[in-house]
A = this chain, B = another copy of it.
Amino acid sequence: MTREVFERLLEEKQYKAIKSIFDTMNPVDIANLLPEFEEKQMVLLFRLIPKESAAMVFTYLDAEQDQVLVEAFTDSELKNIMDDMFIDDTVDIIEEMPANVVEKMLLAAGDKRNAINIILNYPEDTAGSLMTIEYISLHPAMTIGDALKKIKSKGEYSVTVNTCYVIEKHKLLGTVSAMDLLTCDDDELITDVMDDNPITVTTGTDKEEVAQLFNKYDVLTIPVLDKEQCIVGIVTVDDAIDVIQEEAEEDFQKMAAIAPNDKPYLKTSVWDLWKVRIPWLLLLMLSATFTGIIISSFEDALSKVVILTAYIPMLMGTGGNSGSQASVTVIRGLSLGEVEAKDVLKVMWKEVRVSILCGVSLAIACFAKMMLIDRMLLHTDGVDQLVALVVALTLCATVICAKIIGCVLPIVAKILKLDPAVMASPFITTIVDAVSLLVYFGVAQSMIPALG
């Protein structure tokens, strides 16, 4: 359904028609449609959404639209929406609202208010902040039949019945799946069919770690325990997917020297794009002062053997690429939990060997290329065996340094509890640039007699 259709129906006041179109639409698609209308029309359209979809649409809208809606809602409208929303979704929305809107929402929250406040209090990057409390709890003395009866009366208030939790005195004893409930006999005890060793996390578990557990164990929900091992909520797989996606995007942005920004590209204004891009560009431009100083101080050497200048871009480029290969590999390994801080020596030893292999093969290729292409084919002034040797040796040393810097810095960041991805390509490239120039001029001065 395109925007134009709805605009015409709105103009003609065909509200019934709009209602019946909404009736056939997925709430996610309605939520994607509404932001295309101006505020007044948007509020009007929202009121035409069938009751059973309204809370879902509200959940999927952007913070901007939610704020407009909350401000327009009557108290009872807001209460109806809040009643139909799950706690984890409510908390997600509240976290992005200004204070006055939060107040209005909490007033309308009724008996959910306490639960909302508790979850709001968990730090943003933890399992506690992701969880919801609407799950089915079963008592260990129940039979499958008892469980089915309880679910029939309480099921629709819970976020899922696909996994139910067997709980005694707040302690989690095990989980029962909908598959168990639907295929086992009514008189079987739930303790006989339950999985008594489920994957769990605690409220403080980092959300990236939670997401990786979903990925590793292919589960649909993970129960969250507190310090006393009592169950306090569950995290659902859709939140895990969001975390995996967000973290990957954040890493991409850091590797491209972009400040964090979670808006879709086409919806981001030019000013906002400028704001997330300019800080790193400025910083990296200023830090290039060092490479400038290094080159200036070797000005004499460069003016004597001018051809050396021609290979600076190649040396810095190859160094930068080698470094980012190592850093990106290690950063993603750390993100996915495949590499840990304690592996630093193992990683270095591996990178040293890889870098020697890469360095030597590149140096050979570079020497051959300079002698065959630059000297024999292009007759470039000043390229001789000695210059080719200087460039090739520098290349080899640069690649080795670059790879070691590239693998060590992210791990150091991790140990210092910084984000390893901040150490990504642009940052490492700047360091590698300086190193490769120093190596270059050092090798050149010691090997070329004219510079001695």
Contacts and interface: CB of A to CB of B under 8 A. Distances in A.
Nearest to A153: B183
A274 interface: yes
A151 B264 contact: no
A97 B277 CA distance: 46
Contacts of A336: 245, 249, 264
A446 interface: no
Interface in A153-174: 155-156, 160-162
A251 to B, nearest CB: 7
Contacts of A444: none
A148 B151 CA distance: 14
Contacts of A214: 241
Interface stretch (A42-50, A120-128, A354-362): A354-362
Given A241-B214, A285-B365, A296 B381 contact: yes
A376 interface: no
Contacts of A366: 285
A162 B183 contact: no
A59 B270 CA distance: 48
Contact of A425 (B284, B329, B425): B425
Contacts of A66: none
Contact of A338 (B251, B265, B343, B374): B265
A141 to B, nearest CB: 20
Interface of A: 24-26, 28, 148, 151-152, 155-156, 160-162, 178-179, 181-183, 197, 199, 214-218, 220, 237-238, 240-242, 244-245, 248-249, 251-253, 255-258, 264-266, 270-271, 273-274, 277-278, 280-282, 284-286, 288-289, 291-293, 295-296, 299, 302-303, 306-307, 309-314, 316-318, 320-322, 324-325, 327-330, 332-333, 336, 338-339, 343, 346-347, 350, 353-354, 357-358, 361-362, 365-366, 369, 373-374, 378, 380-381, 395, 399, 425-426, 429-430, 433, 437
Given A151-B183, A281-B318, A320-B320, 13 more contacts: A26-B217, A182-B182, A214-B241, A244-B245, A248-B252, A249-B332, A265-B330, A265-B333, A266-B339, A266-B346, A289-B374, A296-B310, A312-B313
Which A-B residue pairs are the 9 nearest by beta carbons? Answer: A288-B314, A256-B328, A178-B178, A218-B238, A291-B313, A248-B248, A155-B183, A295-B310, A264-B338
